[in-house]
Amino acid sequence: MGRKRSKVDEQIEGQLLLDFTSRSEYQVVQANKIISSKQKLRLASTKIIRAVIMQIKPEDEKLHPYKITIRQLAGLLNIPANNLYRDMQDIVKDIGSNPIFIRDDDKGKWKMIQWVSSCEYDKDGGLIIKLNDELQPYLLRLKSQYTQYQYNNIFSMRSVYSIRMFELILEQIHEKVIPKDGLIVKLSVQYIKECLGCEDNESYAKFSNFRARVIESSVKEINKKTFYSIDFSYEKSGRSITGIIFYVNMKYNLW
């Protein structure tokens, strides 16, 4: 008698589930439209979405569904597996209920797209997930206007703001190799708040709170856990701080 068919052996939308690789040196490649979008996913959900994007191959012509075991998820999220068994339903709900808002610069509007077309937790098989086909133009066969980095840069980050700040800074770096004297990246405070989905957060209405909890903490974590070394200063308009100036270098440039 054959074994009972589990959910991870089934198809999603007519496609066979593909095995998932958790090699963190693989590249996360996203169109800059995704980088500059408004996102409100929590930390674990943000890492899972990046890990799924990491599976995309340059020759892929469509987005595939994947099965991710709990052991793989625990490794990718850098948390104990027991915590995942407890939290998976909340993670699935977070991914399904927090869409991405992509800027339409021509119309001055936001385009809302759900991250996934399917996301289901099976306690025996793990997470079954497929990215939304509406994201294909922003993830497949990208030739220009994209940002890429190795997943292990964000692997151990403990703040979703750190991940998003890291992506926003990288988006502005167009050189393949950062020169020895580094690069300067300027981002407006309003732009950062929009992309991080915290522009309406009353806690950050006071800039000192935003500076301490978002800018300073993110830069500290980026410096500690990535290949980059970043310092920053502020840009003012009158007495108000309107922008952040980041001074970016590679750590090997500082040896």
pLDDT in tens, 194-227: 999 998 888 898 999 999 999 999 999 999 999 8
Q: Which helix (H) or strand (E) holds 193?
A: helix 189-195
Strands, E assignment, 146-253:
146-150, 183-188, 228-237, 240-250
Question: Cα separation of 189 and 73, whole Å?
Answer: 33
Q: Which helix (H) or strand (E) holds 87?
A: helix 81-97
- DSSP strand pairing (15-16 vs 11-12): antiparallel
pLDDT in tens, 134-167: 999 999 999 999 999 999 999 899 999 999 999 9
pLDDT of 70 reads 86
pLDDT in tens, 25-58: 789 999 999 999 999 999 999 999 999 999 999 9
pLDDT of 1 reads 35
pLDDT, average across residues 238-246:
94
| The residue type at 244 | I
User: What does pTM read for this prediction?
Assistant: 0.90
pLDDT of 3 reads 31
C-alpha triplet 14, 17, 23: angle, nearest 5°: 150
Beta bridge partners of 28: 149
- DSSP strand pairing (100-104 vs 228-237): unpaired
Question: Cα separation of 176 and 169, whole Å?
Answer: 14
pLDDT above 70 covers a percentage of the chain that reads: 90
Q: Walk me through the domains of the chain, giving residue ranges and CATH numbers.
A: 7-139 (1.10.10.10), 159-254 (1.10.10.10)
DSSP single-letter state for residue 79 = S
> What's the per-residue H, E or C state across 153-170?
HCCCCCCHHHHHHHHHHH
Place of tokens 């270098």: 249
pLDDT at 77 over 90: no
pLDDT, average across residues 117-145:
92
